[in-house]
Structure 1
Amino acid sequence: MNLIKKQIVLKELKGGEKLQSVREMSTSLRVNPNTIQRVYKELEREGLAYTQRGTGTFITEDDSILYNLRGDMAKDVIEKFIDGMRHLGFTNKEIVDVVSSKLNKGE
C-alpha cells in the first residue's frame, strides 16, 4: 500500500490512472493476490482509489485527496524522525539544530 501511495505522491501514478490488475500486481511484487486485493480495498476505503466493475481499479481524480496524501505522508515521516531523535536523547532544540545544519549544507 505504501508503494502505491508513494507512486501517487511522486506522480508516477496520476488521478484517473488504472492500477494493475490484482493478478498482475501480485505477480510483479511476488505477493499473494489476496494481499493485493486487501490493499486495493483499503485504498478505496481511504478514498484514494475506486473500482469500476469489469474494468479495474483506478486512482481517484479528486485533487484534494491526492494533495492531502502528500501532507499525511510527510507528517508520518516527520513524526517517526522526531520519535527516533527523542529516543536517542535529543531535545527539541537539538533536533531543530541538526535539521537546520543539514538543510544549510544542502545534504
Structure 2
Amino acid sequence: MDEFNTSKPIYLQLADRINRQIVSNELKAGQKLQSVREMALSYNVNPNTIQRTYSELEREGILETKRGQGTFIIESENRLIQLRESLKEEQILTFVQVMQEMGYSSDEIISGLQDHFKKIEKGDA
C-alpha cells in the first residue's frame, strides 16, 4: 500500500495510516515503531517525511520519542480511546456528508445502514 493521494501531504497520509493501525490494534500501546530510516525504506519515501510524520503524531500525543531508545506508541489508554472516537467521528462525518450530497435523507441513510448490517449478519454482503 505505497500509493499516496496527491491531494494530501504524504506525511499526513502516513500519520493517518499509523493512527488506523493503532485503532485496529495492529500496533499496540507501548509498541516501538520502526526507526525513521527503516520506515522510510518500507514506504519508499524520504526519511524527512517520516520524521515529520513522527513529529506530527508526537505533537498530537500519539507517539513519544525516548532518547536513545526510539519512537513508541503512547501507553495512555485514555488518549488512545480519544483517538479511536475521533477517527470514528471523522469517518461518520465524511460518509454522512457524501450521502447527503447525493440527496439521501437521514432516514434513508439509517435504513440503508440497517439493511447493510442485516445482510452482513446473514452472510450476504
Give the TM-score category using the shorter length.
over 0.9
Which amino acid in the other structure matches residue 44 of structure 1? E
Q: Which residue of 1 aligns with 2:70?
A: 56
Q: TM-score, normalised by structure 2?
A: 0.82
Displacement after TM superposition at 1:35 (Å): 1.0
Give the length in aligned residue pairs: 107
Verify: 1:30 aligned to 2:44, yes or no. yes
Gaps of 5+ in 1: none
Q: For CA contacts below 8 A with separation 6 or more, give which structure has more relative contact order.
A: 1
Equivalent residue for 1:41, pick from 55, 79, 82: 55
* Secondary structure at 1:58 match in 2: strand
Equivalent residue for 1:98, pick from 99, 107, 112: 112
* Secondary structure at 1:14 match in 2: coil
Q: TM-score, normalised by structure 1?
A: 0.95
Verify: 1:77 aligned to 2:91, yes or no. yes
Aligned identity (percent) is 47
CA RMSD of aligned residues (A): 0.9
Displacement after TM superposition at 1:88 (Å): 0.6
1: CA distance between counterparts of 2:31 and 2:111? 41
In the TM superposition, structure 1's runs of 4+ consecutive aligned residues that sit over 6 Å from their partners are none
Gaps of 5+ in 2: 1-14
1: CA distance between counterparts of 2:21 and 2:115? 29
